[in-house]
Structure 1
Amino acid sequence: MSEYKLKPGKLGEKIVNAYKGIEDSFTETFLEEDGSMKTGGIAEKATSAYRKIEETVVGGYKNVENAFVEAFLEKVDEDEAEPGTEEADHSADK
């Protein structure tokens, strides 16, 4: 079965970098060194807000990715592939 990975391009890179910035800020503000949550009244609200942002960003990117795949890519079974389009067999490299 074929697997696809979208090349993010300039816009995708900006989205990923913005998300990483949000994630880094959250981590520095609300997580201890061991990964546990810092205590405090705002921790639950911040975690909830962060998860909503994460779902929105990741979900939006996945929607764009799925629309691109649906519009421009076509899955081809291995036995239907045209000569010269198959992935190289790297079994000897292992």
Structure 2
Amino acid sequence: MGPLVRRAGTAPGPPAIDQTAFAAFIASGHYDRHLHRTRQRYRARRDLLTAALARHLPAATTHGISAGLHIVCSWPGLDEKAATAAARAASSTS
């Protein structure tokens, strides 16, 4: 018998009360509503960020903005090290 089989027989699984509560949360529709609200919030934040980028960095091109929590932004002539240093300096003063 391998170590994984032995462990499976002795290791406790996730707490049953937590699993039961989460199953009820999903079955009641609360989880779907939570995801919907969260996606709306993140979409609004992403839209604000892309609008600010368009306003302040018109030469910038954004990618990956249709979904998710990230945006990839590139623009010609950017010195990445200088931009990183400027961002670090700006964040330490605020």
TM range (shorter): 0.3 to 0.5
**TM-score, normalization by structure 2:** 0.41
Indicate the structure whose relative CO is greater, using CA pairs within 8 Å and at least 6 residues apart: 1
Larger radius of gyration: 2
User: Counting strand residues as a fraction of each chain, which structure ranks higher?
Assistant: 2
